Structure 1
Amino acid sequence: MAEVEAQWMANPNRYDDETWNRCGNSGLMLPKITLGLWQNFGGVDVYETQRAMIRRAFDRGVFHFDLANNYGPPPGSAEENFGKVLSQDLGKHRDELIISTKAGYRMWPGPFGEWGSRKYLISSLDQSLKRMGLDYVDIFYSHRVDPNTPLAETMGALDQIVRSGKALYVGISSYSPEMTRKAHAILKDLGTPCVIHQPSYSMMNRWVEGGLLDTLSDLGMGCIAFSPLAQGLLTNKYLNGVPAESRAALEGSFQKGMLSDENLDRVRALNEIAKRRGQTLAQMAIAWVLRRPEITSALIGARHVQQLDNSLDALNNLEFSAEELAEIDKYAADGGLNLWQKSSDSNAPA
């Protein structure tokens, strides 16, 4: 007779440390570290490993899970797998969870399969809800600026989505400071606040320090930083070569040009600083992103439970001395990692 799996019970002490931040001036709270399902949660990956990571994250106080319509591969499969975990394990905790998804990149053929039209955004969210088995998401994002659709239409669609009850909050991702101000103003006039921005940010990709973080602070918006580990560059993974199963070897979103000798020299120097702090490089990289008061949450990925635990242990030491920050600044420079810069610089019609 096959063994019956014991029912999973969430850790009753998962909120004891109160490791969360307020998202700008809103009532939304986010854990200091969020689990993103961008990589390793698709249909080509091992489902039980995904399930174990999601349960472990929740047991350790992570109540925000970040998705997008195109996450996989194949596109849509990360939402399907997350919906399965919800039905099996986390569904009874739905009112504790913050679940986010996005739309902006290509999902289906034809002119309404990507970008920022009202038709695409609303259709995409309807599909996302169906894949996850949800009535609503907590946060819905415009994943990128559409250079051809009026920004007023894109933001109007976000307003409509909130008013329809399909999302509680809305945000934007990879918008420039100028476009962020315009988007915020349109939504404010409509009566639906833009509460959060999701940009890339790491020690090797500091573009948000060139005006975006100041803009978010001025507007009272929160900020969740994705790719704080620079897609694995800011870990011990590439210190001694390129592992066969790494993102760089597989040539997906990680481009081999990121592994320049200059970048690797910087990473090795940063690793020595982390060692002196008693942290792994990944832990220091996450803590460094969280040092900024504008950052509500650091959005991480993970390949397995041990990697997840290592990243979450960054919360054990979030303090930096002035001397440490000055030394980090010697090596924390642009490494050509911002693949989303074109989107943030786009100037959609008014």
Structure 2
Amino acid sequence: MTYQAASNRYETMPYRRCGRSGLKLPALSLGMWHNFGDNKPFDNSRAMVLRAFDLGITHFDLANNYGPKPGAAEETMGRLLKTDLAVYRDELIISSKAGWEMWPGPYGDLGSRKYLIASCDQSLKRMGLDYVDIFYSHRPDPDTPIEETMGALDSLVRQGKALYVGISSYSAEETAIAAKVLKELGTPCLIHQPSFSMFDRWIENGLTDVLRQEQIGSIAFCPLAQGLLTDRYLNGIPADSRAADVQNHFLTSDKVELRLAQIKALNEIALARGQSLAQMSLAWALQTVTSVIIGASRVAQIEENVGAVSNLAFNADELKQIELILQQV
């Protein structure tokens, strides 16, 4: 069945200017880190992407290694771009990254010019694109001069392979240096992608100040703390949950137990606001960042998360209560 985007897709989603640029991002972006690889049904991946777009999500966040297998998420997006989304390409922001291990040997990891440019070329082929809208250095490389890494990003823009560039998981000091180098090259740093949530607030220790000073946008990954900030664990650890999977190192049962009292207390505030815990957690993060990246395994999760935009404001009492709860660990 031929896909036709919803006619009202731009009516409720807020779009926010990203740093000092002409680009606006939706308050919520869809991340394809999990559940879009070749180990998942394509029909479900398709349903999630198309529903996200119908709800006003125009930004889709990928990386070279997202899968499994590495590259599979980009292949999924390429398939969708070829069919359902071909006529909507100019309404989409598609981002990719390189910085984690992608292929064997010394040239398939970290931040060398060799790796970043080769990786971008591969990503474009997998997605069938002439350019990506944003290309990131996925993590800092301690051994490669930052001038080389930023120079590679600048080259990708000048070659027409990326419209904008960004960095991910750089410290405040590294971000300041990267921004200075890019500014001197004439390709400003558009955006920084850090982890950030109520339970992961490292960016408040200097990075947000640098981003403000340099007028760089920000987009948070893991704003729901790998599912902790949802109703998933309010009554224990479900057998089919991420925390119950012993192979998952990002979210363990110990972390759930440590945070359970906080999760329940935060949920009470969310209910009083007329929101789910996930919706309130996303709204809270959006006070600090330009956009948040949501993940999903089914359409209903996307629909719930998008509901966060109906109540993004907090009063002083709510913020005080949340802060007291977060200080309890």
| Equivalences for residues 48-197 of structure 1 within 5 A | 48-197=43-192
Q: Distance in 2 between matches of 1:190 and 1:246?
A: 46
RMSD between superposed Cα atoms in Å: 1.3
Q: Distance in 1 between matches of 2:129 and 2:328?
A: 39
Q: TM-score, normalised by structure 2?
A: 0.97
- In the alignment, is residue 302 of structure 1 matched against residue 296 of structure 2? yes
Match of 1:7 in 2: 2
1:28 to 23, 30, 36: 23
Amino acid at match of 1:264: L
> Structure 1: which 5+ runs fail to align?
1-5, 336-350
Check the 8 A contact 1:266/1:332 in 2, yes or no.
yes
Match of 1:287 in 2: 283
- In the alignment, is residue 254 of structure 1 matched against residue 274 of structure 2? no
Match of 1:42 in 2: 37
2:324 to 325, 330, 349: 330
1:91: Cα distance to partner? 1.2
Check the 8 A contact 2:131/2:162 in 1, yes or no.
yes
Q: Distance in 1 between matches of 2:13 and 2:232?
A: 31
1:253: Cα distance to partner? 4.5
> Structure 2: which 5+ runs fail to align?
none
1:262-308 Cα distance to aligned partner (Å, 9 max, x none): 3111111111111111110000000000123xx11011101100011
Q: Look up the SS of the partner of 1:247 in the other structure.
A: coil
Match of 1:339 in 2: none
Q: Residues 244 and 276 of structure 1: is their aligned pair in 2 closer, same or farther, counting only changes over 3 Å?
A: same
Check the 8 A contact 2:60/2:95 in 1, yes or no.
yes
Q: TM-score, normalised by structure 1?
A: 0.91
Amino acid at match of 1:209: E
Q: Distance in 2 between matches of 1:107 and 1:152?
A: 22
Amino acid at match of 1:62: I
The percent of aligned pairs where both chains have the same amino acid is 59
The size of the alignment, in residue pairs, is 328
Q: Distance in 2 between matches of 1:164 and 1:245?
A: 46
Match of 2:198 in 1: 203
Q: Distance in 1 between matches of 2:210 and 2:328?
A: 21
1:70: Cα distance to partner? 0.7
Q: Look up the SS of the partner of 1:7 in the other structure.
A: coil
| Equivalences for residues 257-276 of structure 1 within 5 A | 259-276=255-272
Check the 8 A contact 1:83/1:133 in 2, yes or no.
yes
Check the 8 A contact 1:206/1:334 in 2, yes or no.
no
Q: Distance in 1 between matches of 2:214 and 2:106?
A: 33
Check the 8 A contact 2:228/2:256 in 1, yes or no.
no
Q: Distance in 2 between matches of 1:114 and 1:225?
A: 23
Segments of 4+ moved more than 6 angstroms: none
